[in-house]
Every structure is written in C-alpha cells, then in structure tokens.
Copies of this chain bind each other. A is one copy, B any other.
C-alpha cells in the first residue's frame, strides 16, 4: 500500500534533490525516470508538465517547512536551539552538495512560470517570518541582541544563510562555518 501513492512522492524526492544539486533547468524527466527505474512517461503521468512538477515541489517544501517550524513552536523550544536547528539542517544540505530550494529558486526566479513564482514568494515569506518570530522571541528573552527591527534582521539573516550555502558549494563547507560563527557572535548579547 505504501508502494502506490509513493511513486508520486518519490518523484518529488528525486526532483528536489536534483533541483538542489543542479538547478531546475539542469535536470530532465529522463534523469528522474532513470533514477526511479521507471519510464519517462510515468513522470508525465503524475506531473503532466515540468511546471506542475515545480509547483508541487515548492508547495511540498513549503508544507514541510511549515510543519517543521510549527513543531518547534509547539515544543516551545528555546531561541538558541531553534536557531541551531536551522543551522544544522542547512549544514546537512551543504554536505550533500545541495543548497536550499529557496535559494536555488530565487536565483532562477525569472525563468519560472507565475504559478511557481507565487509559491516561491510564499516560501520566502514563511522562512523570513519564521526568523522574524524567532528573533523577536529571543530578543524579548534576552537571548539575542541585534540592531533595529526583528523583521528586517530576519531578512538579512535569511539572505546571509542562503548566500552561505551557495558559497559553500564554491569553496567548501569551511565558508559555512565561518559565516555561522560570525552570526552567532553577532547575535549574542553584550557584544
């Protein structure tokens, strides 16, 4: 029974990995099909056009991020562990030669259909507002210290991490460690 609906998700798994490693225009239905051990047309059966694939991919990524951040909220996790949790998730991506879906889609934004663009915008909003909430909470609890508005700082933070993941592809994961160390130092109170 798990085998049935799974193909549709497995396609997204493979497509997501390919997107994060290579970018949307650098993989094809053939790549997915051969990795899944299935024929080209099977992919089209589940996602008629590559556009449909893109929409589903970003939408699922967005839902996953939603659930992830909601779980952290329910656990009432402290600000620093929340921060470190995100950092670790990104580190895992880097070590698999991947970057964030958001970062890749932002770079390729102009080439995506409107429907996909809207999904990307929603994803960006969610990631930034996750950090916005986290920063606000951390500031109130005296755990974080930063200049200006939490929403603005959240945007900067998101840009920074996206950039760090991309630069880590270019020069290795050491880049990521440097950036994250600097981030931590700057967020710590009494600096």
Give the interface of A toward B (CB within 8 A). Answer: 21-23, 25-26, 97, 99, 103-111, 117, 120-121, 124-125, 147-148, 152-153, 155-156, 158-164, 166-167, 169-171, 175, 178-179, 181-183, 185-186, 191
Contacts and interface: CB of A to CB of B under 8 A. Distances in A.
A66 to B, nearest CB: 18
Looking at chain A's contact residues, is the secondary structure mostly helix, strand, loop, or mixed? Answer: helix
Contact of A159 (B104, B111, B163, B181): B163
A186 B147 contact: yes
A139 B147 CA distance: 19
30 contacts: A22-B111, A23-B25, A23-B111, A26-B108, A26-B111, A97-B110, A99-B107, A103-B107, A104-B107, A106-B169, A106-B170, A109-B166, A109-B169, A109-B170, A121-B171, A148-B181, A148-B182, A152-B179, A153-B182, A155-B179, A155-B182, A156-B178, A156-B182, A156-B183, A159-B159, A159-B160, A159-B179, A160-B160, A162-B167, A163-B163
Contact of A163 (B104, B110, B160): B160
How many copies of the chain does the oligomer comprise?
2
A125 B172 CA distance: 13
A107 B100 CA distance: 10
Given A25-B23, A108-B26, A186-B147, A164 B159 contact: yes
Contacts of A120: 170
B107 A171 contact: no
Nearest to A97: B110
Nearest to A108: B23
A188 to B, nearest CB: 9
A149 to B, nearest CB: 8
Given A23-B108, A23-B111, A109-B170, A103 B156 contact: no
A136 to B, nearest CB: 15
